[in-house]
Structure 1
Amino acid sequence: MIRDVRLDDAKAITEIYNHYIDNTVISFEEVLIEPSDMTKRIQAVLAISLPWLVLEENGIVLGYAYATQWKARSAYRFVVEVSVYLESTQGGKGLGTQLYEALFTKLKQMDLHVVIGCITLPNPASVHLHEKFGLEKVGHFANVGRKFDAWHDVGYWQVIL
């Protein structure tokens, strides 16, 4: 079941996200966060009326996807950046696709023009997912993130709705 996020999802979402902080370069954050931090992030997204969705099964959160404001300046108000995270054992089951289908359905109903995805490279699964939703690679920044004693590239994908 995919539904809108609730503040009481923050603990489960934090557990999912902290895996990526601690074990991958998918997130460039390096310090684990607390559920209170995630609650603030959820509140910030909801405060600007953007969607944050969770996928749960039998009451267990297996993943989430959301859109955030891309940049703060007014001219960018029609552009959002999207993200999706799955519980570490749930990849390859189509859950990311389900979350993005629901998220993109909501985004298309809003007064938005562009959706952007930022991907640490290499990450073929994420590239495939974003391209499945029509996003095309529009930029590549070499060696812009340093994590786990190595430099990492970032690519930007976008789609015009």
Structure 2
Amino acid sequence: MTATRIRPATPLDAARICAIYNHYVTTTTVSFEEDAVGEAEMAQRIADVGAAGLPWLVLEVDGTLAGYAYATKWRVRPAYRHSVESTVYLDKDCTGRGLGRVLYGALLDELRKCELRLVIGGIAQPNAGSVGLHEALGFRKVAHFSEVGMKFGRWVDVGYWELNLARDGQG
């Protein structure tokens, strides 16, 4: 049996988070970053999310950090203060086991406590796994931008999914 634990991230998690994330940065179009992120930069990102009063969670599987999820402000203007953009990443060897749904569900629970209204997920296309995860959690597709990013010499589309926490039956 696999033992899992979800807890708030700390800057001490930055190295392991980089190891998970940089795989996606350097080998996929899932992230539009083009250069691997360093430990100090990641620690600062974790601190910035916390300073904004938003959650950054990590998932441990059998004592090893296997994934993370967090939210950031959607836009800086005050009227957007009730909307956030969500992010979730799993270690490449931990996908397809339902762990993303557990981790993302925990993030959504934390966001409900923050009295937020809307969670927005941007997904580089194609990405059936991420689309399936979002839709299983109640997100619905609301936008699609064609050829909005270029990575590895090719144009990449991005779709946007939203979850209204006030209408999802749990908020």
TM-score of the superposed pair, with normalisation by structure 1: 0.98
Give the corresponding residue for 1:152: 156
Give the corresponding residue for 1:75: 79
Q: How does 1:1-161 map to 2 (within 5 A)?
A: 1-161=5-165
Name the % identity.
Answer: 50
Q: CA deviation at 1:58?
A: 3.3
Could you give the per-residue CA deviations for residues 22-47 of structure 1, whole angstroms, max 9, x where no partner exists? 00000000011100010111011000
Q: Is the 8 A contact 2:146 2:158 kept in 1?
A: yes
TM-score of the superposed pair, with normalisation by structure 2: 0.92
Moved over 3 A (4+): none
Q: CA deviation at 1:7?
A: 1.2
Q: CA deviation at 1:57?
A: 2.3
One-letter identity of the residue aligned with 1:38: M
One-letter identity of the residue aligned with 1:106: E
Gaps (5+ residues) in structure 1?
none
One-letter identity of the residue aligned with 1:45: V
State how far apart, in whole Å, the 2-side matches of 1:7 and 1:66 are: 14
Partner SS state of residue 84, structure 1 = strand
Q: Is the 8 A contact 2:124 2:156 kept in 1?
A: yes
State how far apart, in whole Å, the 2-side matches of 1:98 and 1:159 are: 16
Q: CA RMSD in A?
A: 0.7
Could you give the per-residue CA deviations for residues 127-158 of structure 1, whole angstroms, max 9, x where no partner exists? 01011111110000000110011000000000
Gaps (5+ residues) in structure 2?
166-171
One-letter identity of the residue aligned with 2:74: W
State how far apart, in whole Å, the 1-side matches of 2:112 and 2:129 are: 24
